[in-house]
């Protein structure tokens, strides 16, 4: 990530890189983002490269699809995050998992045991996300319980998931992967990880296909009990297609949120941020808002300071640090007069690439203190939370392909901190370490976030 920032300092917001088979055009400016993700949205597609790299894992799911195939899935999935679904199902599942988390932290506190908070969040998130999206118990209850010994449990599914994230990310950086994977034998590891993931997903889908009569669908939808699989089944009953669609959502939902929650904890504990008294201000926010330890639907938005920290975390530690799209037909990117950059032609088959990591650090967009972690920047003078244009604050993507899980992930993260901060003090095991972002499809805290926890006595 630091390398992109160095390249930006040398070449500015727009430059080209040559890689085997195609040309990469780097475009780090909101003007470009608005052009490719809104003004001329249809000409910038996931395209051939996304399919070539990720089809084996993501099939024709939302992340690799364009046109009608993308639109159908997007429309169906939007209904999984309605107010009714939040009120009836999402919060219930989340509360159950938060209850387990609090008990687990208490045990870890009693034993003064150091643990990887990022790993705990990945466990919580995989269990809750599967239940929220597919209304099934996961069959991996042993990996997240109130007993510290659960942290030694591994399951084949999550292991395969982790491996796949790493292996497929490597393909993005090596366009010769079809050859190098075969030569190194990595193709077998990749296939094994993919088979394990789909084996698990297929079981859920087969059970549902057998159970499901469609008569009660409308009733379920009205009660807010419909899940993502039901919604996808309204457009297809093909098992392989359904599995692909569902796996995309698990990929979207677990690591992104778990890692962002880990970055949140790191930022509020870092010694260099101590002057902002973030933990104390977050606790004051929770106390003055008067919410319970388990937030109801709509309550996460009331915790303004926690939301400001969350936004700042997503800005400086974007778990999706980069993105790319393919140019469908010859085009011309707009000029950026304020940075003295002329219009730039791009050709069919080029890939345009942006780095959220860089967009978030540009002083031209965020001011001279762009690289400082300062949640207060999110408040206007009258104390309201402000939202810059999504083409500037680009960590959630923008335009018609904006992250579908933004509200969901935000609610999950704020709920975690509203539950744990009033009852526990956290401390970093290595406060002076230089924490780096991990490589992989999402950027986590490299080597995890090791902490100790203490119950608060002054309650």
Residues that constitute the known binding site = 403
Instruction: Please tell me the chain's helix, strand, coil percentages from 3-state DSSP, rounded to the nearest 5.
Output: 60, 10, 30
Q: Does 58 help bind ligand HEM (rule: CB under 6 A)?
A: no
Q: With CB under 6 A as the rule, give the number of residues binding ligand HEM.
A: 23
Q: How far apart are CA 445 and CA 354, in angstroms?
A: 21
User: Among residues 244, 253, 437, 444, which is the contact residue for ligand HEM, using CB under 6 A?
Assistant: 253
Q: Does 249 help bind ligand HEM (rule: CB under 6 A)?
A: yes
In the numeric block, the tokens 């094994």 are attached to 192
User: Among residues 138, 256, 300, 360, which is the contact residue for ligand HEM, using CB under 6 A?
Assistant: 256
In the numeric block, the tokens 């940075």 are attached to 339
Binding-site residues for heme, in ranges, read 403
Binders of ligand HEM among residues 76 to 115 (CB under 6 A) are 77
CB nearer to ligand HEM: give 128 or 273.
Answer: 128
User: Among residues 160, 278, 404, 418, which is the contact residue for ligand HEM, using CB under 6 A?
Assistant: 404
Which of 312, 103, 309 is CA-nearest to residue 300?
A: 309
User: Among residues 405, 437, 440, 444, which is the contact residue for ligand HEM, using CB under 6 A?
Assistant: 405
> Do the beta carbons of residue 121 and residue 416 sit within 8 Å?
yes
Here the tokens at position 342 are 């002329």
Rounded to the nearest whole angstrom, what is the least distance from the CB of residue 422 to ligand HEM in the complex? 23
User: Among residues 395, 414, 445, 449, which is the contact residue for ligand HEM, using CB under 6 A?
Assistant: 395
Q: CA torsion 255→258→263→265, rounded to 10°?
A: -170
> What track of x and - describes contact with ligand HEM for positions 267 through 286 (by CB under 6 A)?
--------------------
User: Among residues 260, 307, 360, 438, which is the contact residue for ligand HEM, using CB under 6 A?
Assistant: 260
CB count in 10 Å sphere of residue 42: 10
Helix or strand run (H / E) with residue 408: helix 406-420
CB count in 10 Å sphere of residue 311: 20
> What track of x and - describes contact with ligand HEM for positions 159 through 198 (by CB under 6 A)?
----------------------------------------
CB nearer to ligand HEM: give 320 or 336.
Answer: 320
Query: 3-class SS at 362?
Result: coil
Q: Does 244 help bind ligand HEM (rule: CB under 6 A)?
A: no
Q: Does 417 help bind ligand HEM (rule: CB under 6 A)?
A: no
Q: CA torsion 11→28→62→197, rounded to 10°?
A: 50
3-11, 263-271, 284-292, 391-399 -> range binding ligand HEM (CB under 6 A): 391-399
Q: Does 409 help bind ligand HEM (rule: CB under 6 A)?
A: yes
Q: How far apart are CA 249 and CA 94, in angstroms?
A: 17
Which of 131, 84, 123, 298 is CA-nearest to residue 228?
A: 131
Q: Which residues are CB-contacts of 264 (< 8 A; sequence separation ≥ 6)?
A: 309, 310, 313, 413, 417
Q: How far apart are CA 295 and CA 412, in angstroms?
A: 9
CB nearer to ligand HEM: give 44 or 108.
Answer: 44
User: Among residues 52, 74, 172, 217, which is the contact residue for ligand HEM, using CB under 6 A?
Assistant: 74
Q: Does 323 help bind ligand HEM (rule: CB under 6 A)?
A: yes
CB count in 10 Å sphere of residue 392: 18
Angle (CA) 140 109 257, round 5°: 45
CB nearer to ligand HEM: give 341 or 437.
Answer: 437
Rounded to the nearest whole angstrom, what is the least distance from the CB of residue 111 to ligand HEM in the complex? 30
Rg of the chain (C-alpha set): 22
CB nearer to ligand HEM: give 77 or 226.
Answer: 77
The answer to whether the Cα torsion of 170, 173, 178, 184 is positive or negative is negative
User: Among residues 57, 62, 201, 243, which is the contact residue for ligand HEM, using CB under 6 A?
Assistant: 62
Query: 3-class SS at 364?
Result: helix
User: Among residues 397, 415, 428, 437, which is the contact residue for ligand HEM, using CB under 6 A?
Assistant: 397
Binders of ligand HEM among residues 27 to 56 (CB under 6 A) are none
The answer to whether the Cα torsion of 116, 120, 121, 123 is positive or negative is positive
Q: Does 401 help bind ligand HEM (rule: CB under 6 A)?
A: yes
Contact residues: ligand HEM, CB under 6 A: 62-63, 74, 77, 249, 252-253, 256-257, 260, 314, 319-320, 323, 395-397, 401, 403-405, 408-409
């Amino acid at each position: 990530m630091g390398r992109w920032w160095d390249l930006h300092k040398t070449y500015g917001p727009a430059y080209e890189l040559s890689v085997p088979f195609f040309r990469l055009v780097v475009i780090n400016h909101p003007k470009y983002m608005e052009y490719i993700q809104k003004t001329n949205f249809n000409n910038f597609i996931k395209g051939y490269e996304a399919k070539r790299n990720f089809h084996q894992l993501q099939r024709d799911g939302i992340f690799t699809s364009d046109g009608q195939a993308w639109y159908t899935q997007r429309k169906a999935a939007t209904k999984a995050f309605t107010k009714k679904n939040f009120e009836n199902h999402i919060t219930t599942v989340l509360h159950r998992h938060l209850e387990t988390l609090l008990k687990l932290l208490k045990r870890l506190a009693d034993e003064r045991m150091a643990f990887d908070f990022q790993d705990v969040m990945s466990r919580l998130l995989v269990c809750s996300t599967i239940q929220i999206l597919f209304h099934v118990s996961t069959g991996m209850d042993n990996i997240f319980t109130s007993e510290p010994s659960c942290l030694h449990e591994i399951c084949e599914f999550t292991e395969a998931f982790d491996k796949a994230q790493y292996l497929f990310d490597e393909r993005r950086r090596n366009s010769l992967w079809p050859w190098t994977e075969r030569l190194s034998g990595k193709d077998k590891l990749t296939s094994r990880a993919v088979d394990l993931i789909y084996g698990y997903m297929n079981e859920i889908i087969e059970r549902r296909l057998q159970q499901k009569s469609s008569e009660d669908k409308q009733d379920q939808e009205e009660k807010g009990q419909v899940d993502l699989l039901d919604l996808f089944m309204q457009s297809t009953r093909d098992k392989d297609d359904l599995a692909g669609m569902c796996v995309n959502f698990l990929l979207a939902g677990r690591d992104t949120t778990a890692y962002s929650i880990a970055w949140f904890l790191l930022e509020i504990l870092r010694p260099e941020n101590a002057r902002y008294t973030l933990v104390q201000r977050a606790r004051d926010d929770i106390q003055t808002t008067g919410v319970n330890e388990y937030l109801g639907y709509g309550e996460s938005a009331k915790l303004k300071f926690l939301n400001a920290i969350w936004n700042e975390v997503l800005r400086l530690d974007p778990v999706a640090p980069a993105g790319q799209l393919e140019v469908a037909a010859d085009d011309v990117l707009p000029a950026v007069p304020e940075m003295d950059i002329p219009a730039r032609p791009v050709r069919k088959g080029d890939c345009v690439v942006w780095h959220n990591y860089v967009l978030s650090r540009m002083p031209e967009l965020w001011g001279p203190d762009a690289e400082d972690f300062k949640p207060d920047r999110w408040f206007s003078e009258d104390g309201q939370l402000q939202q810059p244009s999504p083409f500037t604050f680009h960590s959630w993507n923008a335009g018609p392909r904006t992250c579908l899980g933004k509200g969901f992930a935000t609610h999950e993260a704020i709920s975690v901190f509203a539950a744990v901060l009033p009852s526990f003090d956290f401390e970093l095991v290595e406060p002076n370490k230089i924490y780096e972002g991990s490589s992989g499809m999402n950027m986590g805290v490299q080597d995890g976030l090791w902490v100790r926890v203490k119950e608060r006595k002054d309650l």
